[in-house]
Structures are given as structure tokens and as C-alpha cells.
Structure 1
Amino acid sequence: MEKRKLKAGEYQILQRELSYLEKRGVLASGKGEEIAELYEIEHLSFTKTLLYVGSVLIGAGILSFVASNWAEIGKLAKFLLILSLFASSCFAGYKLESHLPKTARSFYYLGVLVFGAGIFLIGQMFHFGGDFQEAFMWWSLGIMPLAWVLRDKWILLASSLLILFYMTHDPLMGQSVPIWILLWSAAIYFLNEKIGFMPATAFVNGLLQLAFIASVLSYFLDGINDTVYIYGLVYLVIGIGLVLARKSLRDVYVILGYLVHGVAALFLSFGENWPAGAGNFFIPFSILYILFLLFLIKKGSLLSIVILCALIFRFYLDITFAFLPKSLVFVIGGLLLLGFGLYFERQRKKGAESHV
């Protein structure tokens, strides 16, 4: 009987859950191993790797040739060349879909690359206005329907990364609020759920929403001084909210919450990031945050241990650099990190309630 293939992480979860069910007596002893035998780890396909790398190299070669001879080609010929390359890539993928699916997928990926390059080249050719980053927005929009039609997780991830790259430029300048990005984010969320959930896409989409919040803050705080701490406080609240709502969210969003409130708290632990009239408010803030981390650690959160170690190490460097020799600072700091690592490993082996 053919075994069902699972990713390495999924197989480990399966083994852990079967072991748990055996310990609780739900499954008879040895039954878990028998069930696990029905599955196997899906290894990276050598053929698939060759095809995908080959499609990237072909695309890079064609685009390099076109770019090097760009000045010698007429405008109409340039446009038709780009259009024909894109159409032929998609057509080849469509024709090979039924009997050579892996090869077909590589042609689709080639089409995605040609489409993106075509946006930049056509914009240059016809001297379209707009910023360089806008090309990434149109690239993302253009390949999103392809991700839906092909039900391809990787194309959707690429679309998410492209629109995130766009959001890290002009929208953060505070000139306007890109409300439309909410529809974009909702579309990515919907497609990710329908195509087959991919944590990486969900994580990037979460970053996209955080970038949108930053653009809103930049718009309303434009022209006001000493607003840096407001960003930190807003993201701190968002991160803590995601962590506290972990029972109703996927793990990837909870992990994002830890990263957000951890980075925000580290940012706010520096006195210079607070307004001039705040004095030493960063000290009681840091104490309260450490107490919150201890509360999460008591609940079984391993990620909180990592954040706590980072915060302690930050204060250690801040204090000791002022009066200790640098060599001693590094030695003690190294010992601290080793101690943190040992403590984290011991807590992990004890089996905390959850990693998040």
C-alpha cells in the first residue's frame, strides 16, 4: 500500500500526538507506531528542483539577452517580444499540465518572472510616471489570479512579498493612507485559506497589515514631534493582543505577536525613544514588561524566555559597557548567553505546555 507523504514538521507532530494518545491510553501500546508506518516524510524532489532552477536560469538568460540588446530593438518589437514570452510560457505550462505537471509548473514560474520583468521594461520603454516601487504592486496584482487558478502556494507567497516590498516605501511616508491594501490583504488571506494554508504567506500577510498600520500612524502623526514612542506602544498592544488571543488564532499569528511585542518592548526599553518629558519612564515600563513575560513563561511560553533573555542582555550591555573593560564585557556576555541557552534547552526538554 502506498504511504501517505507528509512534510517533516507534520510527521513530527503526528508522532508526538500518537505518543501522547498512547500514554493517555486512548491507543493501545504499539498502535501509534503502526499508524505512523502508514506515513512517510516527503523529501525534496530532485527532478522538481532541477526544473524550477532551470526555469529561473532560462528566464534570467532570456531577460539578460533582451536587456543587453534593448536599445537596438524597436518599441513595438520590444512590446511584442515581452508579450510573446509571457504568453508562450503560460501556454507551454497549460499544454504540459496533464502529463508533465512538474515541468508545467516550472513554465508557469518562468511566466511569472517574465511578467514582472516586462512591467519594468515596458515602464522604461514608454516612460511611464510613478515610483520604481509601483512596479512591484502591479506585479503582485498580476500574478495573484494565476495563484488562484493554479492553486499554487508559492506564487501566492511571491505576490505577498511583492506587495509587502511596495508597502515599505511611499505608503510609510505619511502622504496618504492606502485603504485599498486592506482588500489586498483580505484577498491574500482568502486565497491562502482556499488554496491550502501556508504559514509563510500568513506571516508575510501579517507583516503587510502591520505596514498598513504604520502608514496610518505616519499619516496622522505627520508634522508632530516626538512620536516615535507612539509607534512602539501601538505595536506593543497589537503584539500582546495577538498573544492573548492565541486560543482562537493559528500559531503563525501568535508567533508574529511575540515578535511584534518583543521588538516593540526592546525599542521602548531605551530612554531616548520616549519624549523628553518622560524622564526615566522606560525603567518602570521595562519592569512591568518583564513581569508580563514571567507571567507568560509560567503559562508555558518558550518564546517569552527568548524575549526575556534578549531584554536582560540588552540591559547588561547598556550598564557594563560604561565601567567594565570590553574584553570582560564580552566574556561575561558570552557566559550569559550560554546560560540562557542551557536554561531554554532544559525548559524545552521538560515539555512546556506550548512553544507559543
Structure 2
Amino acid sequence: MSRLSWLLRETKSWVRSGIITADQADQITGLYPADNKNRLIPVLLLLGAILLGTGIILFFAANWQLIPKWGKISLVVVPLALFHLAALVTHANYPFLSRTLTLLGCIMFGSGIWLIAQIFHINAHFPNGMLFWLLGVLPVAVLLREELPLGLSALLLASWALAEHSSSPLIIFVAMMLFGGVFYLAYNLRSSFVLAVTLISAAIFANTEIYLILADNYRFNEAGSLIPFVLLLLGSAYVYMSKHPINEHIGDFPLIYKFLGVTLTGAALFIMSLEFFAHDFVKLRQSGAGYVLFWVLYIAVAFLGAYAISRRSTDIKEVLKENYAWLAVDALIFILLLIPLKEMTLMVGLNLFMFIWALLIIISAYQKQSSLFFILGMFAFNLYVLLEYFNFFWQSLPKSLFFIAGGIVLVLCGALMERQRRKAVLAWQKRGGTSFEEEL
């Protein structure tokens, strides 16, 4: 239910109860104009653009050998020009269609890079194609102030970093500068879509580069196992960014930061509870590979959190009340970096902590009447229960009994989750709150 729908329902109830008149109800609801955006149309157009772009690329690939050279060049240049020309013509009367055509033109530009390279048998460094595609799409996003090309730019940036597979300082510097530009444009356009895509791309980039630094520079073979630890740091950073003053008055930005932060943290704790992480993290402590790097990242996240929290309140009790789930995560990271725990102790501790964290998220969401994060917390808790069920009973139970009992556990978890959600929403409605209020 949207906030406007809730307000309309409540004002009708107030009129029936005699609290306000019908005219007063109209005046109140008139202060909050309806959102006339039809979100289905842009979603359908976006999906259509993706399918059409994919189909064009597959068609070229299937019939490439049968097309003469001049025809190949025409198939690259003509659709590219037509898509952008059609986007320009339809911009005034059909803005959604215009944006979709612009995105198709950007996709066509990328496919054209590889097609031209094939036509003229150009042997080049493969990731450069991603970079040239990015450098061609980014100016389109800047000049037209379009969010779809900008979101594509963020994805291309992450893809380029993955394709380069290099921990070179130059590559990292260029990527960080480009990410800075994309973030600036996302804030300039105030686009929630671009911010979400850019944050996901930034997480991919950060994990890729830290993995490569550990694997290449420190020769640490188990570097891939430490990705969840990086995700845990990123999750905390995103949540603290949701509290940063820069995001206070920009639409859904705080919600996007917090949602991604909670999701990354929950996923990280899930993976860290598995046996391989404890084994590889102990090896990291013993070898000292990247140990200073993780301390630097932790201190940076801690300073970000301290700054964001202090701008809201300096009262210790208030700070603890508002941020106990994330202060607990920070304490966990600090202990992992400071104290050399044994493998079994570490694994048991991480398994216990993931349940504690899920409970803290549920409690915090209940106190702040946030239905979204209440459901996320319940989902994480039930998922962790299922994980422990697999860990303990996969080897000890007969397979038939294992799956029967597992099905019962799933049904009970689902029923419990729905029951608790209904109870929470009912309690919030009785208190006059909205079940979809964002936790900020």
C-alpha cells in the first residue's frame, strides 16, 4: 500500500467518525498529489529493449559469414543512427519510448565495436572493447541526462574491471575516477535506479580488486574465500551512507543504501558461517596477506559510521538505540582483525553471530515500524535456520527423512514469518503508523 492510499483510507475513516468534514479531507489529500507514473510502461519498454538488442546481436552472429563486408558495416552504422534519430523524434511526445530507443542505440554501439573489429580482423586487448563502449555511452548519458545509459555505464565499468583482471594501480585509479563521475551524475540526476546499479557495480569492482591484490601481490591462493569479509565491510559502509547528511533529502537514496547494506551484510554472514571461511581466514591471519589492507578498510568504514551517526545525535544512549545492529557488526570485524581465534572457535562464533544479527534487524525494524526490513530480518533468520539444519542433519539422517523434516521446517518457518509479519503490521496500524515507513 502506498502512503497516499493509506492517507485516503484514513481520511475517509475520519470523515465517518466525525473527526473532520469531507471538505477538510479533500484539502488534506490535495496536499499530496497522486503519482501519475505508470511504472509498468517503462519496465516493459526496458525489457523489450534488452530482448530486441539481444536478438539483433544473435542474428548478426548466426548470419555473419553470409553477409558481405559493406553489408556488415551498414548493419552496424544504420541501426545505430536510426535508433538515436528515432529517440530524438519521439522525445517530446513519447519520453519512455525515446529513452528505450536511446538505450538500444547504446547497446548497438557496443555490439558495433566487436563487429567492426571482426570485419577488419583487428586483434586488440579484449577489455579495451568494454572501455571504448563505456566511453561512448557515458557522454550520451551526460548530454541527454538519461538514467538508462548512465546505468549501463555503471554496469560496463564493473564489467571492464572484471575483464581486465588486473590489480594495476593505473587500472584501479581510472576505474575509481570513472566511478566517481557516475556517482556524481547519479546524484545530479537524483536517480534511484542509477544509484542502485552503481552501488552494485561498485561492490563488484571492490571485491574484484581486493581479490586480485591478495591473489597476485600476496600470492594468497584462498583470496576468493575472503570476498564475504569484503562484503561485510561494504554492507556496513552502505548502511552508514544511508545516514549521511548528503542523502537526507534525496528521495529513496537512504532506503536504497540501507536495503543494499542489509542485503550484503546478510549474505556475507551467511557465507562466513560456512566451514571454508574460518579455515581460510585463519590462514590469512597466519600469513599476514593483506592484513594491513583490511585494517585500513575497517578504519575507513568506522570513521564513515562515526561521522554519519554523530551528525544525527551525540547522545550515547540514542546512538546505541538507533544503531545497535551495525555497531555489533563493527565489533565483530574488530574482533576478527584483532584477536587470532582458532578455526573451530571462529566458525561457532560466526554461526551464533548471524542469528544475533538477524534478531537485531528484526527488533530494530519492529521498533521503527519498517515492514521491509522486518521481512528481510525474518527471511534472514529463517534462511539461517535452514542452513544450520543442513549442516547438522545432512550426514546424520536418512535422505528421505532429511527431506521430509526439511519440508516441515520450511513450512513452519514460512508460517511463522507470515504470522509475525501480520502481528507486527496490526500493531503498527493500531499505533497509527504505516507499515511501509522507511527506517532511516
User: For residues 237 and 209 of structure 2, what CA distance do their matches in structure 1 show?
Assistant: 19
Q: Does 1:267 align with 2:232?
A: no
User: 1:254 offset after TM fit, Å?
Assistant: 1.0
Closer, same or farther: CA 82–311 of 1 in aligned 2, 3 Å: same
Match of 1:6 in 2: none
How do 1:180-219 residues align onto structure 2 when only pairs under 5 Å count?
180-199=174-193, 201-219=194-212
Q: Does 1:288 align with 2:353?
A: yes
User: For residues 360 and 104 of structure 2, what CA distance do their matches in structure 1 show?
Assistant: 50
8 Å contact from structure 1 (residues 15, 36) kept in 2: no
8 Å contact from structure 1 (residues 226, 274) kept in 2: no
The structure whose RCO (Cα within 8 Å, separation 6+) is larger is: 2
Q: Which moved more, 1:131-140 or 1:336-345?
A: 131-140
User: For residues 400 and 394 of structure 2, what CA distance do their matches in structure 1 show?
Assistant: 10
Q: TM-score, normalised by structure 2?
A: 0.65
Match of 1:343 in 2: 416
Supply the AA of the counterpart residue of 2:404.
V
Q: Does 1:64 align with 2:45?
A: no
User: 1:191 offset after TM fit, Å?
Assistant: 2.2
Match of 1:4 in 2: none
Q: Does 1:94 align with 2:88?
A: yes
Render the CA deviation track for 1:255-290: whole Å, top value 9, x for unaligned: 111121111111111122223653212101221332
Render the CA deviation track for 1:206-251: whole Å, top value 9, x for unaligned: 1221122223322431202444554322321331343355433511
RMSD of Structure 2 on Structure 1 (CA): 3.9
Render the CA deviation track for 1:21-44: whole Å, top value 9, x for unaligned: 99999x947627844995265446
Closer, same or farther: CA 24–157 of 1 in aligned 2, 3 Å: farther
Which among 374, 385, 391 is matched to residue 318 of structure 1?
391
State the percentage of identical aligned residues: 21
Q: Does 1:247 align with 2:312?
A: no
Q: Which moved more, 1:35-44 or 1:282-291?
A: 35-44
Closer, same or farther: CA 38–251 of 1 in aligned 2, 3 Å: closer
Which among 9, 15, 19 is matched to residue 5 of structure 2?
15
Render the CA deviation track for 1:146-200: whole Å, top value 9, x for unaligned: 22333322222222223333333333x646652222222222222223334133x
Q: Give the secondary structure class of the aligned counterpart of 2:397.
A: coil
Q: Work out the number of aligned pairs and report it.
A: 342
How do 1:49-198 residues align onto structure 2 when only pairs under 5 Å count?
53=48, 57=52, 60=55, 64=59, 68=63, 72-74=67-69, 78-79=72-73, 82-98=76-92, 101=95, 104-171=98-165, 174=167, 177-198=171-192
8 Å contact from structure 2 (residues 4, 32) kept in 1: no
User: 1:20 offset after TM fit, Å?
Assistant: 7.5
Unaligned runs of at least 5 residues, structure 1: 1-10
8 Å contact from structure 2 (residues 49, 104) kept in 1: no
User: For residues 245 and 106 of structure 1, what CA distance do their matches in structure 2 show?
Assistant: 31
Q: Give the secondary structure class of the aligned counterpart of 1:149.
A: helix
Match of 1:279 in 2: 343
More helix by share: 2
Closer, same or farther: CA 127–236 of 1 in aligned 2, 3 Å: same
User: 1:298 offset after TM fit, Å?
Assistant: 1.4
User: For residues 418 and 103 of structure 2, what CA distance do their matches in structure 1 show?
Assistant: 41
User: 1:73 offset after TM fit, Å?
Assistant: 2.8
Q: TM-score, normalised by structure 1?
A: 0.78
